[in-house]
């Protein structure tokens, strides 16, 4: 552990971002056609190690279905506009048109509308009817309130996602969610996060979670570092949580908890690096918000952006780049690393000699911060 003395009264660790590292080929190369990117969690298998982030700019019931059909997993945000409004088309259009100055207040207003249990049921049913794996996300704060509705509606995977989610939430004024108990009682596998350190992740693993989200999400649109001083450089965060997975596997007698990088993934190169640091899959936000089908219509925002008294995210312009299929499977529209994400991942694996994702977690990396030009 590279510990640093910040000053006489404080020590800290050196942490690395995806931009700080790169992968390097070695003595063997491979045919990209021989590479596979299959990934499975619990009973559910996927051709692509990609989860679409439960954000209103990324996942609508329609895109959830489409992503499922392409081989990934679209996670429904069960606290988003689709469970607050019968038809959120007008609200999405309003957000797309709002100027940067108005955006925060507008988002706060639109998301003040209560969540309706029947809309949760309807949205889940719609995705389920399409025959793809169904996943829905709640924040820890609302999990107790809506979990039963969600389960009864028939999700395959239950996602509990917040900026920071811990195994032990302490509150004097509200009965907090007991994650361990909750997961134990539940029939469906749970993916939970964000967490960004070895210790935090290890405790989440001990709750019985099937997967852990690494990072604090909403990279492109987040100002958490400026507002809260909280930041987890992703290369280090993923590698730390992968270390926790290894140690927990030992301690639990073989339970493998999936590590899912969630945040800071702006290009196919970042996805490659996430897996090289130990991620089993990635949760994508902004790169999928750039799809023609994306509900955000060229804009991207997360739950931090509409926090009622401490917004710490922005509505950011992403533009519209290509179809979901082209973004995920190609062919690439240009050389910017934002289309044909899986083609790029396969080529990176082939160039460094690996044929499956699990092996590829062992690829050699160098620490080499970007040059300023």
Sites for its own copies among residues 306-345 (CB under 8 A): 308-314, 330-337, 340, 343-344
Strands 135-138 and 157-161: parallel
10 forms part of the interface with its own copies (CB under 8 A): yes
For its own copies, which is the closer residue by CB, 11 or 152? 11
CA–CA gap between residue 360 and residue 337 (Å, rounded):
19
At residue 45, what are phi and psi to the nearest 5 degrees? -105, 150
Residue 286 in contact with residue 258, Cβ under 8 Å?
A: no
Q: Does residue 29 touch its own copies according to CB under 8 A?
A: yes
In angstroms, what is the minimal distance from the CB of 118 to its own copies? Answer: 30
Pairing of strands 365-367, 21-23: antiparallel
- Residue range at the interface with its own copies (CB under 8 A); choices 78-86, 142-150, 183-191, 230-238: 230-238
List the one residue from 87, 99, 114, 170 that touches its own copies (CB under 8 A): 170
Q: Decide if 274 contacts 293 (C-beta within 8 A).
A: no
Query: Which residues partner with 316 through β-bridges?
Result: 300
Residues in 39-78 at the binding interface with its own copies, rule: CB under 8 A: none
**194 cis-preceded (ω within 30 degrees of 0):** yes
Instruction: Tell me, residue by residue from 261 to 290, as one string, x for binding to its own copies by CB under 8 A and - for no binding.
Output: ------xxxxxxx--xxx------------
Q: How far apart are alpha carbons 186 and 8 in whole angstroms?
A: 48
Contacting residue, 9, 114, 253, 254, with its own copies by CB under 8 A: 9
Contact between 231 and its own copies per CB under 8 A: yes
Least Cβ distance, residue 30 to its own copies (angstroms): 5
Instruction: Report 349-368 residues binding its own copies (CB under 8 A).
Output: 351-353, 364-368
Residue 253 interacts with its own copies (CB under 8 A): yes or no: no
Q: Are 156 and 41 in contact (CB under 8 A)?
A: no
316 contact partners, CB below 8 Å, separation of at least 6: 220, 221, 286, 299, 300, 301
Asked if residue 175 binds its own copies (CB under 8 A), the reply is: no
- Residues 184-203 touching its own copies, rule: CB under 8 A, are 195-200, 202-203
Of residues 92 through 121, those in contact with its own copies by CB under 8 A are 104
């Amino acid at each position: 552990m590279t510990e640093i003395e910040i000053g006489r009264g404080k020590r800290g660790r050196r942490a690395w971002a995806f931009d700080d590292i790169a992968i390097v080929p070695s003595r063997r190369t491979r045919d990209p056609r021989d590479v596979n990117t299959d990934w499975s969690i619990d009973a559910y298998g996927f051709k692509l190690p990609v989860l679409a982030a439960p954000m209103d700019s990324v996942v609508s019931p329609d895109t959830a279905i489409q992503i499922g059909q392409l081989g990934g997993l679209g996670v429904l945000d069960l606290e988003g506009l689709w469970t607050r409004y019968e038809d959120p088309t007008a609200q999405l259009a309003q957000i797309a048109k709002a100027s940067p100055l108005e955006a925060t207040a507008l988002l706060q207003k639109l998301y003040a509308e209560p969540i309706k249990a029947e809309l949760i049921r309807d949205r889940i049913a719609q995705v389920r009817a399409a025959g793809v794996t169904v996943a829905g996300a709640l924040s820890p704060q609302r999990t107790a309130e809506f979990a039963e509705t969600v389960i009864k509606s028939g999700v395959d995977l239950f996602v509990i996602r917040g900026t920071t989610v811990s195994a032990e939430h302490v509150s004097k004024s509200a009965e907090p969610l007991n994650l361990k108990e909750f997961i134990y009682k539940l029939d469906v596998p749970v993916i939970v996060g964000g967490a960004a350190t070895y210790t935090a992740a290890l405790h989440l693993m001990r709750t019985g979670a099937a997967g852990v989200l690494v990072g604090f999400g909403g990279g492109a649109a987040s100002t958490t570092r400026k507002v809260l001083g909280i930041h987890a450089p992703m290369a280090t965060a993923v590698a730390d949580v992968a270390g926790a997975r290894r140690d927990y596997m030992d301690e639990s007698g073989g339970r493998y908890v999936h590590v899912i990088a969630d945040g800071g993934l702006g290009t196919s190169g970042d996805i490659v690096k996430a897996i090289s640091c130990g991620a089993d899959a990635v949760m994508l936000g902004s790169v999928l918000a750039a799809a023609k089908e994306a509900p955000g219509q060229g804009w991207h925002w997360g739950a931090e952006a509409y926090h009622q008294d401490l917004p710490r995210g922005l509505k950011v312009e992403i533009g519209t780049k290509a179809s979901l299929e082209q973004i995920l499977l190609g062919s690439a529209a240009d050389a910017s690393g934002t289309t044909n994400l899986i083609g790029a991942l396969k080529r990176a694996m082939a160039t460094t000699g690996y044929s499956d994702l699990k092996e590829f977690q062992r690829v050699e990396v160098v620490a080499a911060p970007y040059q300023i030009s």
